[in-house]
Structure 1
Amino acid sequence: MKQFFLIFLSFSFLSACVTIRQDEVGYRRRFGKLREKTLNSGFYLINPFTTTMIKVPTRTTNLTVTADLPTKEGLTVKTEVTLLYRVQPNKIVSILKEIGKNYENNLVAPAFRSAIRDVSARFFAKDLHTAERATIEQTIAADLDKFLKDKGFVIEAVLLKSIKLPERLVEAIEAKLQAEQEAQRMQFVLEQEKLEAQRRIIEAQGTRDAQKILAEGLNPLVLQFQYIQAWRELAKSPNTKVIITDGQMPYMLNEEQNSVSPLITPKKK
Structure 2
Amino acid sequence: MSSNQLQLPKAILPIIFLVIIAIILFSKSFVTIEAGQAGVLWKRFGGGVVIDEPALGEGFQVIAPWNKVYIYEVRRQESFEKMKVLSSNGLDIQLDASIWYQPKYAELGKLHQDIGEDYLNRILLPTIRSAARSVVGRYTPEQLYSSKRDAIQAEIFEESKKIINDQHILLDEILVRDVTLPSTIKEAIERKLKQEQESLEYEFRLVTADKEAQKQIIEAKGKAEANKILSASLTDKILQDKGIEATLELAKSPNSKVVIVGSSKDGLPLILGNN
TM-score range, shorter chain: 0.7 to 0.9
| 2:149 counterpart (133, 148, 154) | 133
Scaled by the length of structure 1, the TM-score of the pair is: 0.76
Shift in Å, 1:98: 1.3
Shift in Å, 1:121: 3.3
Using the alignment, how far apart are the partners of 1:122 and 1:172 within structure 2? Answer: 20
Using the alignment, how far apart are the partners of 1:223 and 1:119 within structure 2? Answer: 83
In the TM superposition, 1:1-269 aligns within 5 A as: 16-21=30-35, 23-31=36-44, 33-36=48-51, 37-39=53-55, 41-46=57-62, 49-244=65-260, 246-247=262-263, 248-253=267-272, 255=274
8 Å Cα contact 2:37/2:58 also seen in 1: no
Shift in Å, 1:206: 1.8
Using the alignment, how far apart are the partners of 1:124 and 1:218 within structure 2? Answer: 72
Using the alignment, how far apart are the partners of 1:59 and 1:229 within structure 2? Answer: 98
Using the alignment, how far apart are the partners of 1:15 and 1:184 within structure 2? Answer: 74
Shift in Å, 1:15: 9.0
**Structure 1 residues 107, 220: closer, same or farther in 2, change over 3 A?**
closer
Using the alignment, how far apart are the partners of 2:89 and 2:180 within structure 1? Answer: 16
Q: Secondary structure at the match of 1:204?
A: helix
**Structure 1 residues 199, 243: closer, same or farther in 2, change over 3 A?**
farther
8 Å Cα contact 1:80/1:162 also seen in 2: yes
Gaps of 5+ in 1: 257-269
Letter in 2 for 1:208: A
**Structure 1 residues 231, 67: closer, same or farther in 2, change over 3 A?**
same
8 Å Cα contact 2:101/2:172 also seen in 1: yes
* Greater mean alpha carbon deviation, residues 243-252 or residues 121-130: 243-252
8 Å Cα contact 1:70/1:76 also seen in 2: yes
Q: Secondary structure at the match of 1:86?
A: strand
Using the alignment, how far apart are the partners of 1:48 and 1:167 within structure 2? Answer: 61
Gaps of 5+ in 2: 1-18
Using the alignment, how far apart are the partners of 2:37 and 2:261 within structure 1? Answer: 113
Using the alignment, how far apart are the partners of 1:48 and 1:80 within structure 2? Answer: 46
Percent of aligned positions that are identical: 27
Using the alignment, how far apart are the partners of 2:258 and 2:102 within structure 1? Answer: 107
Using the alignment, how far apart are the partners of 1:15 and 1:254 within structure 2? Answer: 131
Using the alignment, how far apart are the partners of 2:114 and 2:64 within structure 1? Answer: 24
8 Å Cα contact 1:71/1:125 also seen in 2: yes
8 Å Cα contact 2:96/2:176 also seen in 1: yes
Letter in 2 for 1:104: L
8 Å Cα contact 1:63/1:83 also seen in 2: yes
Question: Cα deviations across residues 224-254 of structure 1 (Å, max 9, x unaligned)?
Answer: 2112211221233222233445422344546
Where has structure 1 moved over 4 Å in runs of 4 or more? 12-15
Question: Cα deviations across residues 174-202 of structure 1 (Å, max 9, x unaligned)?
Answer: 12222222232233333323322332232
Using the alignment, how far apart are the partners of 1:166 and 1:151 within structure 2? Answer: 36
Q: How many residue pairs end up in the alignment? A: 247
8 Å Cα contact 2:54/2:106 also seen in 1: no
**Structure 1 residues 112, 227: closer, same or farther in 2, change over 3 A?**
closer
Scaled by the length of structure 2, the TM-score of the pair is: 0.75
